[in-house]
Structure formats: C-alpha cells, structure tokens
Amino acid sequence: MRTLLFVVWMLIPVGALAYHLGPGQGDLKSDRAAQLLSQADLWVAEEQWPEAIENYKEALDLLPEDDLATQRKTRLELAKCEIHNSGLPQANEDLKVLVQELIDDPDSDPQTLTDSRIALANSQFYITWLMRLEGRPQEAWEPEITSSQQIYRLLAEQSEDGLDSEAILKRKSDLESSVKLARMDIGELQGLPLPSQ
C-alpha cells in the first residue's frame, strides 16, 4: 500500500508538468488574451488609440482558433481604433472582410454583424468625405457613399423592429447625412468641419 501511495505521490508532479506543457499552455494564452482585451478596453475609454491597437493585435494572436466570436469582436474593436488613429483605409478594408465573413456564417452573432455594419458604413462615409475634399472625381467616391447609404438604409429598416426611438433616429440621421454628402456642392463641403468619428 505504501508503495502504491509513493508511486501516486511521485506521479503528481509529472502530471502537473504534462498539463503545464500541454493543455495548460492554451489556458495561459487565453488568460493573457483576456488581460490584453481588458486593458485595450481601458485604453479605448481613455482614447489612447495606439495602445489599444497594440493590445487588440496581441490578443488576436493569442485567442484560440475556435473562438470565432471573440476574434470577430476583437477585429471589430481593432478596426474602430484604427479609424481613430489615422488608419481609415486599412480599417475600411478590414471591416469589409469582417462584414462579409459574418454574413456568410449563419452562426455568427447578429449584434456583432450590426456593429460591424455600422462601423463599415461610418468608415465609408469618412472616406467619401476625404475623397471629395481631395478633389477626386465622382467615379472614385460614389461607390463608397452608395455602399454606405445602402448599409444605413438596411440598418434603419432593421432598427424599426425593436430598437428604442433614439437608436432609430440616429440610424435615419446617418442615412440622411450620407445622402446630403453625396449631393453637397464641393464649396459647401469645404466650409464644413470634418465630421467627428
């Protein structure tokens, strides 16, 4: 009996080491990713965009491959931070990919899809504004604002199915703003301040 207890006692460290070197590594990565995401959220609240971007990127590298929901939410937050940190073109491309990925996956989170669509429409609105200020021809900026209008229209229609009146008004206001931007004279546009993010 003593020999059996001694063998079991000696196997405990071996089992702990095997866990640490095997499945434990995944748990350590998950814990570290959760810490990074929490810190990134704090950076966002303080509008420290470069620090938030760094944390989101590092967390994405550590998240498990099968945790698509968290990966997608993190990619969305990363893109929103990049918009604030002068990374609008890259964020716009990333959001297009993310929205399409969410649409193609029937199991994706509907709220993440809605939030991603809002971020994409906003990025297209800002890109159109900047392209128009740069004097680009209508053929260059029209596809962006048209896509933005379509997304805003879709969101406005969906919002009538259960959102509060403030959210409905915001979505309709976004749609109206995108229509005005497309119709606005360049002289009038140049006299306006850049829209806030």
Do residues 51 and 109 both lie within one domain? no
Position 164 scores a pLDDT of 67
Position 114 scores a pLDDT of 92
Position 17 scores a pLDDT of 47
Do residues 140 and 183 both lie within one domain? yes
Do residues 85 and 59 both lie within one domain? no
Do residues 51 and 130 both lie within one domain? no
Residue 70 counted as domain residue: no
Position 119 scores a pLDDT of 96
Ranges of the chain with pLDDT below 50:
17, 20
172 CB-near residues (< 8 Å, 6+ apart): 156
> pTM of the prediction?
0.81
Do residues 6 and 90 both lie within one domain? no
Residue 71 counted as domain residue: no
Do residues 88 and 120 both lie within one domain? yes
Which of 41, 64, 87 finishes a domain? Answer: 64
Position 42 scores a pLDDT of 95
- List the one residue out of 139, 133, 100 whose CA is nearest residue 116: 100
| Cα gap 23→52, rounded to integer Å | 29
Do residues 55 and 99 both lie within one domain? no
Do residues 103 and 192 both lie within one domain? yes
| Cα gap 52→78, rounded to integer Å | 8
Contact 80, 92 (CB under 8 A): no
Would the CA dihedral through 88, 89, 91, 96 be positive or negative? positive
Which of 22, 43, 64 finishes a domain? Answer: 64
Do residues 158 and 81 both lie within one domain? yes
Do residues 10 and 83 both lie within one domain? no
Task: Find the domain containing 92 and state its range.
Answer: 76-197
User: What is the DSSP secondary structure assignment for residue 32, as one 8-state letter?
Assistant: H
User: What is the DSSP secondary structure assignment for residue 110, as one 8-state letter?
Assistant: H
Contact 74, 56 (CB under 8 A): yes
Do residues 105 and 191 both lie within one domain? yes
| Cα gap 99→20, rounded to integer Å | 37
Instruction: Tokens for 67, please give them.
Output: 């945790």
